[in-house]
């Protein structure tokens, strides 16, 4: 059994962060989103993993993620020259996949569930495909499935105006090798892409066995800023422990579940968890509230911050108002001198410099 993680695309919904980096490497709880998917696959016993990359961000993904040793996996990188659809990505990956069954996993998804609970019935019952579904309140925003009482998939519709059900495709699919024949039989959609939903519908139309399973636990699509912040909140809330490897002065205090990395220093600061602070960070005269992640090498002075994600090497200095619901990019600098009366919200890309005056 192999896995194919899709980590290409342009990440337009997360700009400006994704002008300079891959959306799948944006951290949630100080870990790249992509790595959560790799860890879920390895935990299910799937260690032969192909990662689809784009020309724009592929080298960054390759450098940061490596050959898979850190995950106990073997990673093969597969270049998709253009974003021509999910089924096109499978077509490009055929030399890696060969005729093996595989899991396709969208790289900006984060799930709580153990994948092995879906993998075992897929293998035992020899399904041609099995798709994971989730009941949602806004099915028009997703690919939607209709299924019979046994869970067999009858029809797929991509973002319908009048949804036939509230069962949304999660973005995790199990396929047998027959999917390659289905992809070969479909044509590009109106937007010029080879759609994986069309390929799965081709399986259904040719009487192949396409099963479904409902996904329980949290499912987080991190494609937008608010989704990213929600993923950060949920993961901190459900997985964070307590560990302090930093140095706190006598005027600083840590309350609740907080992890602080080695080499980080806190002066006259209060941290109220759940909060994760990376290595070699400097915090002075700060209040850091719940659901905040601060990556390695960040420096914060005179900051009141909560429910935010601060990326590697960012500097926030002299902001005398509360900052909430914000994402601050790598090496970005945010400074101010006078006091201002209201809370502030930011989405700041890498290497930005902003001064409030």
CA-CA distance, 38 to 115, in Å (whole number)? 11
Question: What pLDDT, on a 0 to 100 scale, did the predictor assign at position 23?
Answer: 74
Question: What pLDDT, on a 0 to 100 scale, did the predictor assign at position 20?
Answer: 53
CA-CA distance, 7 to 37, in Å (whole number)? 11
Q: How many CB atoms lie within 10 A of CB 31?
A: 16
Q: How many residues in the chain?
A: 357
Question: What pLDDT, on a 0 to 100 scale, did the predictor assign at position 191?
Answer: 85
Strand partners, 334: 316, 354
Quote the Cα angle for 260-265-270, to 5°: 70
Containing H/E element for 211? Answer: strand 210-214
240-356: CATH, from 3.90.1150.10, 2.160.10.10, 3.30.365.10, 3.60.15.10: 2.160.10.10
Give 108's Cβ-side CA count (13 Å radius): 21
Q: Tell me the whole-structure pTM to 2 decimals.
A: 0.88
Question: What CATH superfamily classification does 2-223 receive?
Answer: Spore Coat Polysaccharide Biosynthesis Protein SpsA; Chain A (3.90.550.10)
The CB-based long-range contact list for 231-234 (8 Å cut-off, 24+ gap) reads 231/28, 231/33, 231/110, 232/28, 232/29, 232/291, 232/293, 232/309, 233/291, 233/307
Containing H/E element for 248? Answer: strand 247-248
Are 234 and 220 in contact by the 8 Å Cβ rule? The answer is yes
Using DSSP, state whether 14 is helix, strand or coil: helix
Question: What pLDDT, on a 0 to 100 scale, did the predictor assign at position 68?
Answer: 96
List, by residue range, all CATH 3.90.550.10 domains of the chain: 2-223
Question: What pLDDT, on a 0 to 100 scale, did the predictor assign at position 224?
Answer: 74
List, by residue range, all CATH 2.160.10.10 domains of the chain: 240-356
Omega into 320 within 30° of 0, i.e. cis?
Answer: no
The one-digit pLDDT tens for each residue of the chain (357 residues) are 999 999 976 545 555 555 556 778 889 999 999 999 999 999 999 999 999 999 988 999 999 999 999 999 999 999 999 889 999 999 999 999 999 999 999 988 888 899 999 999 999 999 999 999 999 888 888 889 999 989 999 999 888 889 999 999 999 999 999 999 999 999 999 888 999 999 999 999 999 999 999 999 888 877 678 888 999 999 999 989 999 999 999 999 999 999 999 999 999 999 999 999 999 999 999 999 999 999 999 999 999 999 999 999 999 998 888 999 988 888 988 887 655 556 676 766 666 666 565
């Amino acid at each position: 059994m192999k896995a194919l993680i899709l980590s290409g695309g342009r990440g337009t919904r997360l700009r400006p962060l994704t002008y300079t980096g891959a959306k799948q490497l944006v951290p949630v709880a100080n870990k790249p989103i992509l790595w959560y998917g790799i860890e879920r696959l390895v935990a299910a016993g799937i260690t032969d993993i192909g990662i689809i990359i784009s020309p724009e961000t592929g080298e960054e993904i390759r450098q940061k993620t490596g050959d898979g040793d850190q995950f106990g996996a073997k990673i093969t990188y597969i270049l998709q020259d253009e974003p021509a659809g999910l089924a096109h990505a499978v077509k490009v990956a055929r030399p890696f996949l060969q005729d093996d069954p595989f899991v396709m996993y969208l790289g900006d998804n984060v799930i709580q569930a153990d994948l092995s609970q879906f993998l075992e019935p897929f293998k035992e019952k020899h399904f041609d495909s099995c798709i994971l579904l989730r009941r949602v309140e806004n099915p028009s925003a997703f690919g939607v499935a209709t299924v019979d009482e046994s869970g067999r998939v009858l029809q797929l519709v991509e973002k319908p105006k009048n949804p036939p059900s509230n069962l949304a495709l999660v973005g995790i699919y199990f396929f047998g090798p027959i999917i390659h024949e289905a992809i070969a039989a479909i044509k590009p959609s109106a937007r010029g892409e080879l759609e994986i939903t069309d390929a799965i519908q081709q399986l259904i139309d040719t009487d192949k066995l396409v099963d479904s399973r409902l996904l329980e636990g949290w499912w987080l699509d991190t494609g937008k800023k608010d989704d990213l912040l929600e993923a950060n909140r949920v993961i901190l809330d459900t997985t964070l422990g307590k560990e302090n490897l930093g140095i706190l002065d006598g005027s600083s205090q840590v309350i609740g579940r907080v992890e602080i990395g080695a080499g980080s220093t806190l002066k006259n600061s209060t941290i109220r968890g759940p909060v994760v602070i990376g290595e070699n960070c400097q915090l002075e005269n700060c209040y850091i509230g719940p659901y905040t992640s601060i990556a390695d090498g960040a420096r914060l002075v005179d900051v009141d911050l909560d429910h935010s994600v601060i990326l590697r090497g960012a500097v926030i200095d002299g902001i005398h108002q509360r900052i909430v619901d914000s994402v601050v990019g790598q090496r970005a600098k945010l400074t101010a001198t006078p006091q201002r009366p209201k809370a502030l919200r930011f989405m700041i890309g890498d290497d930005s410099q902003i001064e409030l005056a």
